[in-house]
Amino acid sequence: MKSGFGITHRFGKMLAAVALAGLVTVSWTGVLLAQEKEDKGPKPVKLFDVEDTLKVTLHGPWREIMQKVKVQDPYPATMEFTDSLGRSQSIPLTVERRGITRQKVCKFPPIMLNFEKETVKGTAFRGQKRVKMVTHCDKGDRWEQYNVKEFIAYRIYNLFTPRSFRVRPLEITYVDSKHGSEEEPRFAFLIEDDSDVAKRNKLEKLDIKEIEPVQIEPRDGNRFSLFQFLISNSDWSALTGPGEEDCCHNGKLIGSDPNKDIYVVPYDFDSAGMVDAHYAAPNEALPIKTVTQRLYRGFCFHNPTLEETRQEFLAREQQIYDLFLNEPRLSERHKKSVPDYLGEAYDIFRDDTKFQKQIREKCRK
């Protein structure tokens, strides 16, 4: 009897253990299903999928960042904003100085935003790791107008090809995390990462030292060159990078084959004549004295498809002007003067003789 009782008792404990294990399994399964359901719930629109202005409060040691001009290390910061679903978000991140020329001329330098994957999960910034931010640089309307015009330059190139950097405008309130001081809201914009540009176009980011014109997809090479001529930007190289850096200077390479049909994606337009920043100057090796003087620097190898690209630009003329006319941050003076300045390039695009002499015959062999 005792022996039977012991066996029965142990068997009962085993059943209880199995039952408990089953309950635990069911419980964890429920949690996982609930989490999965939560993950599949509504998500805010991703950062660069919309064009409206994102209002942001950015906490960081801004006074220290401005004063320590030689320190390129990351600083802890916090970003606060309301997403497209109306939810308040607070994201920890780090910020650091970036850029070359603007670090020398700006009191408030351009900034790199660095995110951790887990902190941006489920937010508009999901998938972002490092995002370039173009800042106000200094106080005063002149500086803001520079930024607005450069911002529109990105939007112009978006009209011609999806193989271009998307930008997102910001209205930023900077709060100094060490001193508690707060500045009035400033205009800034974020630039899409080149890896995301490649992925969006089902291509790959290419890390190459240098390329030849024959490797560039001809029509895209023409778009690149005519666009730079339109905004009067000569501060670029589509074949090599500065110094020992990878190709290219103010251009990123994407493609599916590193040997052919490469696309050069332009960026950094603060030296363009369209922006007309007071600190900008052309390279001394070029036959121009000011950045507002246009110089075509396209490649002769691409000339067979140049007429087709010319027609693309002629078809987009009014859309380009509308970008300026409909930009509320641009002053009324610039809403007139910049389209007038671009119109000088369009006079060349429309006229067969001028186009032949100032574009086609000026190509680089």
Mean per-residue pLDDT pooled into runs of 10, the chain (365 residues): 44 44 41 46 93 98 96 97 97 96 94 98 97 96 97 98 98 94 94 98 96 97 98 97 88 95 98 97 96 98 98 98 98 98 98 98 96
- Check: CB of residue 96 under 8 Å from CB of residue 87: no
Residues across the chain: 365
Is pTM beyond 0.95? Reply is no
Predicted local confidence at residue 20, as pLDDT: 41
Tell me what pLDDT residue 243 has: 80
Q: Tell me the C-alpha distance between 150 and 277, whole Å.
A: 10
57 Cβ partners below 8 Å, 6+ apart? 79, 80, 81, 172, 173, 175
C-alpha 143: how far from chain center: 20
CA distance 202 to 223: 20
Residue 302 region, left (φ>0) first, then alpha (ψ -120 to 50), else beta?
Answer: alpha
Q: Which pLDDT belongs to residue 33?
A: 40
How high is the pLDDT of residue 24?
39
Query: pLDDT at position 39, please?
Result: 56
Specify the pLDDT at position 112. Answer: 98
pLDDT in tens, 124-133: 999 999 999 9
Output the pLDDT for position 172.
97
